């Protein structure tokens, strides 16, 4: 049987997910539940319905066809409300909506189908030095497919990168990392208790896998990212410990800090879910520099950047 995976989407001509122009393949499914997650639509490994109220005319066609009676019209706002405890994701409401107010996150695809999309951009890869980046969600939720896709990229001589959370077995890491010319890995916080509080999982295996991956990866291929969130991981101790982790890795090329933002808020609302950090203010590059700028006073073996802007060169 041909391997299939639930793919959230495929974005073309990205300039921020590795060297050159990249085609980014977003996998569905993630074991973490980061409070600041900007792509909540990638968390579930299954296809799921979302609602675009700006397109809804209130015709009620979706309500009429729902076999579980999971949909109703809000008396207060007039928009369609979904009872997630009843919804079985049968997608009949999507088929019934003539205005595309009900849509689906995710598409089941084969390796050949994904490669067909990737190879449309081979000319851009050639001239820009780019390639494909596997993102998520978390590709380790669908390791068999990710490995097969990376093997197909190897056969086609397409440069491959990935965004990894490393919350998996090292056996899975060994199947993926050797195929990558570079990879990003998020270090949310070095504190295990805080990590569990804000992501739902301990960070012990993540840190262990990062250290072990350092021994099997391509030279200088590790790019550590820290999504900096005020009151969560922006303290001096955590920032220094993260830099010390990077210093231990012989193949760490860069430590990058990403300012917290609320770009995922709209997706939470489309999914009918609450966003835990809705009241948190977004951060600017300057806000981040004020938090981590002290690192630039020490000699490190890796570059330091803030949202793609280099602030320290090793």
Average pLDDT estimate for 287-298:
96
pLDDT for position 278: 85
The model's pLDDT over 46-100, given as tens digits with 9 standing for 90+, comes to 999 999 999 999 999 999 999 999 999 998 899 999 999 999 999 999 999 999 9
Calpha distance 7→135 (Å, rounded): 10
H-run or E-run covering 241: helix 236-248
- pTM for this prediction: 0.93
The model's pLDDT over 5-34, given as tens digits with 9 standing for 90+, comes to 999 999 999 998 999 999 999 999 999 999
For the beta sheet containing 222-228, the strands, ordered from the edge strand earlier in sequence to the opposite edge, are 107-110, 4-14, 22-27, 131-135, 160-164, 182-186, 222-228, 252-259, 303-306, 309-312
H-run or E-run covering 95: helix 92-96
pLDDT for position 122: 95
The model's pLDDT over 194-211, given as tens digits with 9 standing for 90+, comes to 999 999 999 999 999 999
* 116 dihedral zone (left: phi>0; alpha: psi -120 to 50; beta): alpha
Residue owning tokens 């675009």: 52
pLDDT for position 279: 85
The model's pLDDT over 230-285, given as tens digits with 9 standing for 90+, comes to 999 999 999 999 999 999 999 999 999 999 998 889 999 999 999 999 888 899 99
DSSP state of 298: S
H-run or E-run covering 82: strand 80-82
pLDDT for position 263: 86
Residue owning tokens 């109703």: 72
Task: Provide the percentage of residues in the chain whose pLDDT is more than 70.
Answer: 100
Indicate whether 299 pLDDT > 80.
yes
């Amino acid at each position: 049987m041909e391997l299939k995976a639930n793919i959230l989407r495929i974005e073309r001509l990205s300039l921020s997910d590795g060297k050159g122009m990249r085609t980014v393949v977003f996998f569905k499914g993630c074991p973490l539940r980061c409070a600041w997650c900007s792509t909540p639509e990638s968390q579930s490994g299954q296809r799921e319905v979302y609602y675009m109220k700006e397109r809804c005319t209130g015709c009620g066609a979706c309500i009429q066809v729902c076999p579980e009676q999971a949909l109703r019209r809000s008396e207060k706002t007039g928009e369609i409300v979904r009872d997630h405890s009843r919804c079985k994701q049968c997608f009949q409401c999507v088929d019934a909506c003539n205005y595309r107010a009900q849509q689906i996150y995710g598409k089941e695809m084969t390796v050949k189908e994904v490669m067909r999309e990737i190879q449309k951009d081979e000319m851009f890869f050639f001239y820009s030095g780019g390639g494909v980046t596997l993102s998520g969600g978390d590709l380790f939720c669908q390791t068999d497919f990710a490995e097969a896709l990376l093997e197909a990229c190897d056969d086609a001589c397409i440069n491959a990168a990935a965004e990894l959370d490393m919350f998996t077995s090292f056996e899975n890491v060994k199947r993926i990392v050797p195929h990558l010319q570079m990879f990003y890995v998020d270090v949310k916080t070095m504190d295990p208790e805080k990590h569990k509080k804000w992501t739902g999982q301990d960070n012990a295996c993540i840190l262990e896998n990062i250290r072990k991956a350092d021994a099997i990866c391509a030279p200088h291929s590790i790019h550590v990212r820290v999504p900096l969130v005020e009151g969560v991981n922006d303290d001096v101790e955590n920032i220094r410990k993260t830099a010390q982790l990077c210093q231990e890795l012989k193949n760490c090329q860069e430590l990058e800090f990403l300012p917290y933002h609320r770009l995922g808020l709209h997706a939470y609302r489309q999914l009918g879910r609450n966003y835990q950090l809705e009241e948190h203010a977004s951060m600017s590059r300057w806000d981040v520099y004020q938090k981590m700028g002290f690192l630039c006073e020490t000699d490190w073996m890796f570059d330091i950047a803030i949202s793609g802007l280099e602030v320290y060169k090793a």
